[in-house]
């Protein structure tokens, strides 16, 4: 059996009242646009209405944490999905942007107590990016949306079980 043990649950349905924000980077637009399409399709297939999904665009991956923070702090969303693609070039810029963005998104989630889902591709070349944006390696935007749904469900379970308090 060649099941991907790291894959999100495929059969999960979103809570009917859940609200999601998606922030996507227009740098590497062809790749990230496919991630966005995958995320939006996934949410729709799982019962999330279009009006329950707020989409905002930022210039590049570096700006994802700032926008995610603004969205999470608004308390209007149950989860934020951050989508982008950083493709390695000939300078250390890739390393700085990838690491800074990853750390920033993680910090936003911990500081705001809102799930912020890491949908940032970090690849060696454009071909690898397209493979992960609907190609042979699936669509990581779709996977990120599934993860967002799972985290909303987890948040609500923890609150219902008295382990955490639900955000205002």
Residue 123 lies in a domain: yes
Residue 86 lies in a domain: yes
CA dist list (Å): 76 to 54, 73, 102, 166: 10, 8, 23, 13
Tens-binned pLDDT, residue by residue, of the chain (168 aa): 445 555 656 678 899 999 999 999 999 999 999 999 999 999 999 999 999 999 999 999 999 999 999 999 999 999 999 999 999 988 899 999 999 999 999 999 999 999 999 999 999 999 999 999 999 999 999 999 999 999 999 999 999 999 987 654
How many domains does one find in the chain?
1
Active-site annotation holds for 93: yes
Burial of 70 (0-12, 13-18, 19+ CB in 10 A): middle
The token pair at 53 is: 């999904």
Direct distance between the N- and C-terminal alpha carbons of the chain, in angstroms, rounded to an integer: 44
- Indicate which residue of 76, 93, 113, 157 is catalytic: 93
Q: What residue numbers bound the domain in which 140 lies? A: 20-36+43-160
Residue 15 lies in a domain: no
CA dist list (Å): 124 to 85, 98, 111: 11, 12, 31
């Amino acid at each position: 059996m060649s099941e991907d043990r790291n894959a999100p649950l495929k059969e999960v349905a979103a809570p009917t009242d859940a609200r999601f924000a998606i922030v996507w980077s227009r740098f590497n637009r062809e790749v990230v646009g496919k991630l966005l399409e995958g995320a939006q399709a996934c949410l729709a297939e799982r019962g999330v209405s279009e009006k329950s999904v707020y989409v905002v665009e930022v210039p590049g991956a570096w700006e994802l944490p700032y926008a995610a923070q603004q969205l999470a702090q608004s308390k209007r969303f149950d989860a934020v999905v951050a989508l982008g693609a950083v493709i390695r070039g000939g300078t250390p810029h890739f390393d700085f942007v990838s690491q800074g963005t990853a750390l920033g998104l993680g910090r936003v989630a911990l500081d705001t107590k809102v799930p912020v889902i890491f949908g940032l591709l970090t690849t060696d070349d454009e071909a690898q990016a397209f493979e992960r944006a609907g190609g042979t390696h699936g669509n990581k935007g779709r996977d990120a949306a599934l993860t967002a749904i799972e985290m909303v469900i987890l948040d609500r379970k923890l609150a219902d079980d008295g382990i955490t308090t639900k955000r205002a």
